[in-house]
Amino acid sequence: MKTLGIIGGMGPMATVDLMRKIILSTDAKRDQEHIHMLVDCNTEVPDRTAAIEGRGESPVKEMLKSAKLLESQGADVIVIACNTAHYFLDEFKDKVNVPIINMVDETVKYCVDSGYSEVGLLCTIGTKNTGLYQKACDKFNLKLIVPDDEEIKAIQDMIYSGVKANNFDYDTSDVKTVISNMTKRGAQAFILGCTETPIAVQMYNLEGNFIDSSQVLANKAIEAVGARLIKN
């Protein structure tokens, strides 16, 4: 079995959530059948959305540092526990000698393979503005419904003021309205396009037909290192 490297810290809870999903989705009966994971929970990676909007420093230097560290420690495959960070992937992936799984592409492929023709996107402003999921959906002929300006503000506030702030009492009324309105616009399911959104679903008991990008990445990581995936 190969060794998995995780570029984490974006945010810390999303990193733990990905690790948990990898462990729970691995068909293992004893410790030795689980995946050897190397994790760099690098909280010094600058905010990805701020960088995309021109308000902050690029995260590429720190992400590359994490990737090279994981590679030097023996990682055979690398994943990034952050959707928005994939905007910067092309800037450093060729400087690393091991493959990096693309979470965005794999999530869209999963949607297509599941038979969806039209999906909504719950994400940060940064992810929306990069067009990451829009481009991937165009590539795989999947219609994507994106939040409007007010809707994206509600989602981002839940991520930053709710999940990242460990605020378990956060009022998600606005986000629930967003989900309802996007469903009326044709969304058959919702891509959880930020690694904090699956945590928000659990923290705030959000209801909907959700496609967890972190779970898709976890499944692909398990297969990539040669472990056994639990089939649902």
Q: What does the pLDDT read at residue 89?
A: 96
Cis? peptide before 11, omega within 30° of 0: yes
The CA distance from 40 to 150, in Å, is 34
Q: What are residue 111's phi and psi, to 5 degrees? A: -60, -45
The CA distance from 191 to 187, in Å, is 10
The confidence band for 12, taking pLDDT boundaries of 50, 70 and 90, is very high
* Most distant CA pair in the chain, distance: 49
Contact 72, 64 (CB under 8 A): no
The confidence band for 231, taking pLDDT boundaries of 50, 70 and 90, is confident
Contact 10, 44 (CB under 8 A): no
The pTM is what? 0.91
Per-residue pLDDT at 232 exceeds 80: no
Q: What does the pLDDT read at residue 156?
A: 92
Q: What are residue 215's phi and psi, to 5 degrees? A: -70, -40
Q: What are residue 151's phi and psi, to 5 degrees? A: -65, -40
Q: What angle do CA 22, 97, 129 make, to 5 degrees?
A: 65
Q: What does the pLDDT read at residue 194?
A: 86
DSSP structure class, residue 118: E
Per-residue pLDDT at 67 exceeds 80: yes
The CA distance from 130 to 43, in Å, is 22
Order of strands, edge to edge, in the sheet holding 190-192?
A: 143-145, 118-122, 190-192, 210-212
Place of tokens 């999947």: 142
Q: What does the pLDDT read at residue 107?
A: 97
User: What is the per-residue pLDDT across 136-170, written as a single tens digit (0 to 9) for each?
Assistant: 999 999 999 999 999 999 999 999 999 999 999 99
Give the tokens for residue 185. Answer: 């616009």
Residues with a known catalytic role = 82, 194
Place of tokens 């690098």: 42
